[in-house]
Amino acid sequence: MPRPLIFLFPALALALAAAMAPISAQDAPNQGAPDTSNKASQALEAPSQADAESSFFGDDQSMAETQAPTKGSGLDQFRKDDQGVKWGGTLKSDIGWYGGWIGQNQWPDPASLTKNWGDDFSGDFEGKIYLDARPEKAYRVKVALWTAWPFANDAPLALPSPLLGTTTVAVPNIKLWELFADINIQDRVFVRIGKQVNSWGLLGSAYSPTDVISLTPKDVTDLTAEREGPLALKVTVPESAWNANFTGLILARDDYFSSDPTWRDVGYAAKGEILLKYTEVALGGFYQRSAAPKLIGTLTSGLGYLPLPFVRDINIFSESALSWGSDKLLGTGTSPFGTFTSLDKPDSGLYYLGTLGASYSNSDYNYSVSLEYFFNGLGSNDIDYAGRAYATYASQGGSSSPLTIGDLLNPGMHNLTGFLTFTDIDGSKFGSTTIWQQNFSDKSGWLREKVTFDPWDYVSFYAGFDFVYGAEGTEFTLTHMDPYTGATERLFFFLGTTMGTGSF
């Protein structure tokens, strides 16, 4: 089991904030930075890119702006020009093919390229639809439903009917995504009550250890995707004169509730944020009696205050979380079957999780690059930790195991993720995305190269490959297994199309 550890990122974050705050009080040259004054006053809310959050607080930003912010009132953030009732939604469509070499020897055999070859088709079709009613400027109600193909799933009957030869019934695959009300109290206090998308942490982060709100983990291939949120009462008090926000939440997350829940079973979260010209700092905490208490902090800063033209488009960012105890089951020992000999969820001991990263964007050549290091105090440096975790999960019945998918994520202590994105290559309608992830603890990694071609609106084509390296039983060889054979997909190619994807 990893030892409790306090790392140095909180001190680094505070030092950066202290160093930049005096500078931000002056009018430093912006070195030709683009005009973002209409966005800067909206940068205080932790980025989530959710429709609900955008319409309440304005468009979110992934980093602090490098341009001095303008002041805005809380009412401006809350009010929309179009009153009354409206409806809309999003649609996501993806049809593709993928294939590569699997089996005992996953590499191509020059004598027989079809040896160990496997391929398949993939499909993804999902959508959300919402109804948004704002009868008054100070009151709003929104409901959103989510569905995906297959549009019905088989569920067991409560009372099976052997005479009819059926034990299951088709249930529509529909989920209540959001249902909340917004209330504006005298332009000073903004309240949201109901099931809501409400992600904490930074949009550009691949890990976000400070997101104690969302119910689902991040998808590294789509960092802007909405993630499901809980039933909550959220209260936000903006202070425009200080470019600050205070947010408090009372959470009713289903997985925290006992069979006979009481008010003692709810969770509480609070966060304060302040934007000091080029630097945004947030500090907060989370408490729930059946979960590990946490202190969290984030820091983002542009470097526009420096009189150097090559750094004006660079942002640095960091997230820190201190956890007293663990929400994850941690394994120790190795049995003759390759499983853990014991599982434990410690309720004491201080654990640190933190990220430190930087991003750069170039508008002349339409590309951006970012690199982020993640220290996971709940991870392990054992090279076979991931293998034992997956073996334990499988031996205990998979979905019925005390271990969860969340316990299997990020098993390593030292991790790195990098992105290189070209949105438009020399006006050719071609773009590309490169993703690289590395677990330094078990020396496994994953590289994806994806090229896209957008000839028309709402129609896109893509092609690329995934390359996985590392010893068998390490993190990325396990997360890229063929579901039928259990062998690693070391080198796989894919191509496909998306049609109709967008918002309406």
Per-residue pLDDT of the chain (504 residues), as tens digits, is 444 433 334 443 433 343 333 333 333 333 333 333 333 333 333 333 333 333 443 333 333 333 333 334 444 444 454 567 899 999 999 999 999 888 656 677 777 777 888 888 888 999 999 999 998 889 999 999 999 998 888 777 666 655 556 677 788 899 999 999 999 999 899 999 999 998 899 988 999 999 999 998 899 999 988 999 999 999 999 998 888 999 999 998 766 666 677 788 899 999 999 998 889 999 999 999 889 999 999 999 988 778 777 788 899 999 999 999 999 999 999 999 999 999 999 988 999 999 999 999 988 899 999 999 999 999 999 999 999 999 999 888 777 778 888 899 999 999 999 999 999 888 889 999 999 999 999 999 999 999 999 999 999 999 999 999 999 899 999 999 887 777 888 889 999 999 999 999
pLDDT, position 164: 58
Compute the distance between CA of residue 463 and CA of residue 492 in angstroms, rounded to an integer.
11
Tokens of 347: 């309720």
Q: Is 81 helix (H, G, I), strand (E, B) or coil?
A: coil
pLDDT, position 259: 65
Compute the distance between CA of residue 164 and CA of residue 161 in angstroms, rounded to an integer.
5
Q: Are 42 and 54 in contact (CB under 8 A)?
A: no
pLDDT, position 332: 92
Tokens of 90: 């999003």
pLDDT, position 8: 38
pLDDT, position 372: 98
pLDDT, position 106: 65
> Residue 207 falls within a domain, yes or no?
yes
Number of domains in the chain: 1
> Residue 456 falls within a domain, yes or no?
yes
Tokens of 22: 């005096």
pLDDT, position 49: 31
> Residue 203 falls within a domain, yes or no?
yes
**Distance between start and end Cα atoms, the chain:** 49
Do the strands 84-101 and 502-503 form a parallel or antiparallel pair, or are they unpaired? antiparallel
> Residue 1 falls within a domain, yes or no?
no
> Residue 332 falls within a domain, yes or no?
yes
CATH number at residue 382: 2.40.160
Compute the distance between CA of residue 236 and CA of residue 247 in angstroms, rounded to an integer.
4
> Residue 323 falls within a domain, yes or no?
yes
Distances (CA, A) of 137 to 73, 76, 144: 14, 10, 20
pLDDT, position 459: 95
Contacts of 504 (CB under 8 A, 6+ apart): 88, 89, 90, 91
> ∠131-132-137 over CA atoms, to 5°?
165
The structure's pTM equals 0.81
> Residue 105 falls within a domain, yes or no?
yes
Does a cis peptide bond (omega within 30 degrees of 0) precede residue 336? Answer: no
* Domain span at 465: 9-503
> Residue 2 falls within a domain, yes or no?
no
